[in-house]
């Protein structure tokens, strides 16, 4: 499966070979896949599962109300966490010398940071400025993609020299 996916990604690489390395192209492809999956999952959860309705909770240690955009973001984040880690570990950063559990912990740390930034920006853009949630998701995803690339390359999946 890994070889087939790499063959598919590498098939589209030649037009970009003058501008970026194969490694970076693979990261963009896997990150783009994860991001696209996240946007689709977010849209489905927000519009079809939650039907744009806020979530009311009765669990004492959780907030009583979670807005629909934030609830959809939480659900989407859990699903794309596993998609992103799998693609990065097995398709992009295969030369990392770190143990899998260390990679997973570091990946979770970067994702947690992304979620906090995502949450803060969502609160500001959707609830304070009234942006449409799906458009907001696209804008934030693009900003966090750049941060994630450098975090994953130099922290999560780094190669010891």
pLDDT recorded at residue 73? 87
Q: Which of 154, 145, 156, 127 is nearest to 66 (CA)?
A: 127
- Region 51-78 average pLDDT: 88
Provide, rounded to the nearest whole percent, the portion of the chain with pLDDT above 90: 54
What pTM, to 2 d.p., does this model score?
0.78
Tens digit of pLDDT for each residue in 92-146?
A: 988 888 898 999 999 999 989 988 998 899 889 998 999 998 888 888 888 888 8
pLDDT tier at 53, thresholds 50, 70, 90: very high
Every domain of the chain and the residues it spans:
2-156
Tens digit of pLDDT for each residue in 14-31?
A: 999 999 999 889 999 998
75 phi/psi in degrees, rounded to 5: -65, -45
Query: How many residues appear in the chain?
Result: 161
């Amino acid at each position: 499966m890994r070889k087939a996916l790499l063959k598919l990604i590498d098939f589209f690489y030649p037009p970009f070979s003058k501008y970026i390395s194969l490694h970076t192209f693979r990261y963009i492809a896997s990150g783009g896949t994860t991001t696209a999956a996240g946007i689709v999952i977010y849209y489905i959860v927000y519009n079809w599962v939650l039907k744009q309705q806020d979530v009311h909770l009765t669990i004492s240690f959780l907030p009583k109300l979670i807005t629909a955009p934030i609830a959809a973001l939480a659900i989407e984040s859990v699903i794309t966490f596993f998609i992103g880690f799998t693609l990065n570990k097995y398709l992009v950063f295969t030369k990392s010398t770190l143990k899998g559990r260390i990679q997973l912990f570091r990946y979770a740390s970067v994702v947690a940071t992304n979620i906090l930034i995502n949450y803060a920006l969502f609160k500001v853009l959707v609830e304070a400025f009234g942006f449409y949630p799906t458009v907001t998701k696209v804008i934030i995803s693009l900003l966090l993609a750049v941060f994630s690339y450098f975090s994953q390359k130099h922290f999560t999946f780094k190669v010891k020299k």
